[in-house]
Each structure stands twice: as structure tokens, then as C-alpha cells.
Amino acid sequence: SNNKIQVELDESSGVAMMKFKSPPVNSLSLEFLTEFSISLEKLENNRACRGVIITSAVPKIFSSGLDITEMCGKSVEHYAEFWRAVQEMWLRLYGSNMVTVAAVNGSSPAGGCLCALSCDYRIMAENPKFSIGLNEAQLGIVAPFWFKDTFVNVVGYRIAERSLQLGSLHPAPEAHKLGLVDELVPEEKLMEKAAAVMAQWLALPDHARQLTKSMMRKAVLDRLVAHREEDIKNFVTFVSKESIQKSLRMYMEMLKKRKS
Ligand code: CO8
């Protein structure tokens, strides 16, 4: 099949493995995001599933973030549809009742970082060549308030403020120091560690853990739900600006030129 995301549920442990498999860089296209949300919804509704480990099947890359081509030279209707799909993915992942563990086995800029930040726990391969962060400012665009809220809830205000303004991509060891990822492990130990962490979280009764998670995240989730249409309008207006289109085109050209 041409699925962009592989999902395998181990019924005995109640843990699903979700692997991003959309080469070359697991960019979050409209199709990818739609499949991601549907996969999460299916697992959420499956009583046999209590936890999800999210990782990548593409070597060296977790996810390159939002697919920039979805934000370049498209119609207003397309931008709106795309943005609704980004919101949907985040609402499902950040608001999931399941235990979510990100096993970050490669670079994870922008939207890729958001996916990891939305999980309950982050383990990253201890390779300084892999970096993670919300680098939107480097593209001449601004991280939406709910990306920012998610980031602040993980690393705290000061670190988020500096990192967002600079559009920093933090190499794994630095990301760990900042608390952006919870743990570093050698790459070959990543999946084993993720399974161990998952078992630890699943040892608790679901009900108490779920209510606690909801208590911690509800305010931030509700803020997007309450302003969802306005947020779409803002995105469409922002991304339709010629100056923003130009920034995005220049960034894509830079990516291509940078190639050796
Ligand atoms: N979208 C679309 N195409 C991409 C993206 C992307 N995010 N990232 C890479 N590609 C393409 C490259 O252009 C390249 O295409 P081609 O083969 O045709 O030249 C191909 O994928 C492979 O990329 P690289 O050669 O660069 O692969 P490397 O292994 O050398 O590097 C990286 C992988 C590290 C992932 C690198 O590609 C990279 O840094 N990509 C850019 C990542 C990035 O900055 N993403 C930010 C996206 S914006 C976002 O997620 C949030 C926006 C919030 C909206 C704000 C309101 C407007």
C-alpha cells in the first residue's frame, strides 16, 4: 500500500507503534496530516490500545515539519483546508487519552518538533547531528500561539521566548539540557527505552492518569478550539501575503542550494 504512516498494535501490551514513512523527509503534507489524524482516531477508539510510540521509518529524519509546498502558490481554499488539518492533528495528539511517547530518531524541525512536544514523553537519539526546535522565525514566519503554548508547557517561558525568537534548532545534547527532550539514548537503544518508558506510564490506572493529563492540557486545547476559525483566517491572510510567499520560496531555494 502507499500509506505514509505505519501503525502496528500489539494487543498483549496495548501499545501501538506508529512509524512515519513518507520519504524523503516525512514532511507533513495535507495527505500525511489526514492519515495521521485518522490513525490517531482509530487507536483512540480502540479499547485494546492504551499507548502509542511515535517514531520514523526514514533514516536520520523524524519529520521535517509542515510541507512547505502546501503553503506556496496555492489557493486560499487550499491554505484553509491545510491549516484545519494541522489543527486537527494537534488537537488529537495533544488531547489524546492514550500515553504518547515520541522516539525521536532524527532531525525534527518546526511541525516535527510540535509532534514531539505534543507527546507525554520524548526520548531522542543521542546524535549531535540531529536537531529539534521551532525554527519558524528562520523562515520569516511566526509560530502560531498554540505551537508556542505547547512549547512553553514543556520548557518554560524564558527558554521558549529565546528559542522562538532565534528560531533555534537545538542539537540533541542541547535539547536535552533545555528539557526539550526528556532523555537521550544511543540510537540502537531507542525503541527498547521507549517500550520501557511506556510500560512505566501504563503501570498506572488509565482513569487517574487521563484526568490528570486533561487537567494539565485543557486550557491550552480549549484556547484553540474557541478560536479555531479565527486561527485559520489568520493563517490564510498571513501566508497569502506576497512578502511571506517570497520568504518561503527563498527558504526552499536555500534548502536546494545547500545540497552538496
Ligand atoms: N517541506 C517541503 N519540502 C521539504 C521540506 C519541507 N518542510 N523539508 C525538506 N524538503 C525537501 C527538500 O527541498 C528536498 O527536496 P528536493 O529533493 O526536491 O531538493 C528534499 O525534501 C530533501 O531535503 P534535504 O535535501 O534538505 O534533506 P536533508 O536530509 O539534507 O535534510 C532536513 C533534512 C534537516 C529535514 C532539511 O530538509 C530541512 O531542514 N528542512 C526544512 C525544515 C523546516 O524548516 N521546516 C519548517 C516547515 S514550517 C512548519 O513546520 C511550521 C509552520 C507554521 C506556520 C506558521 C504560519 C505561516
List pLDDT tens digits, range 241-258. Answer: 999 999 999 999 999 998
Q: State if residue 112 touches ligand 1 by the CB under 6 angstroms criterion.
A: no
Domain membership of residue 224 (yes or no) is no
Instruction: Give the count of domains, the chain.
Output: 1
Over residues 81-100, the mean pLDDT reads 98
Its domain, for residue 124, covers 5-189+196-202
Pairing of strands 15-20, 51-56: parallel
| Ligand 1 center to 213 CA (angstroms) | 32
Q: State if residue 236 touches ligand 1 by the CB under 6 angstroms criterion.
A: no
Query: All 3 cell numbers of residue 29?
Result: 503534507
pLDDT band at 154 (very low <50, low <70, confident <90, very high): very high
Domain membership of residue 77 (yes or no) is yes
Task: Indicate if the pLDDT at residue 2 is higher than 80.
Answer: no
Domain membership of residue 141 (yes or no) is yes
Domain membership of residue 83 (yes or no) is yes
Give the mean pLDDT of the chain: 97
What is the residue with the minimal CA distance to atom 25 of ligand 1? 259
Domain membership of residue 133 (yes or no) is yes
Domain membership of residue 207 (yes or no) is no
Q: State if residue 256 touches ligand 1 by the CB under 6 angstroms criterion.
A: yes
List pLDDT tens digits, range 214-234. Answer: 999 999 999 999 999 999 999
Task: Indicate if the pLDDT at residue 260 is higher than 60.
Answer: no
pLDDT band at 143 (very low <50, low <70, confident <90, very high): very high
Q: State if residue 238 touches ligand 1 by the CB under 6 angstroms criterion.
A: yes
Domain membership of residue 68 (yes or no) is yes
ipTM of the complex: 0.98
Cβ contact 39:3 at 8 Å? no
pLDDT band at 259 (very low <50, low <70, confident <90, very high): confident
Domain membership of residue 211 (yes or no) is no
CATH number of residue 48's parent domain? 3.90.226.10
Where does residue 210 rank: exposed (0-12), middle (13-18), buried (19+ CB within 10 A)?
middle
What is the residue with the minimal CA distance to atom 28 of ligand 1? 25
| Ligand 1 center to 143 CA (angstroms) | 16
| Ligand 1 center to 121 CA (angstroms) | 25
Over residues 188-195, the mean pLDDT reads 98
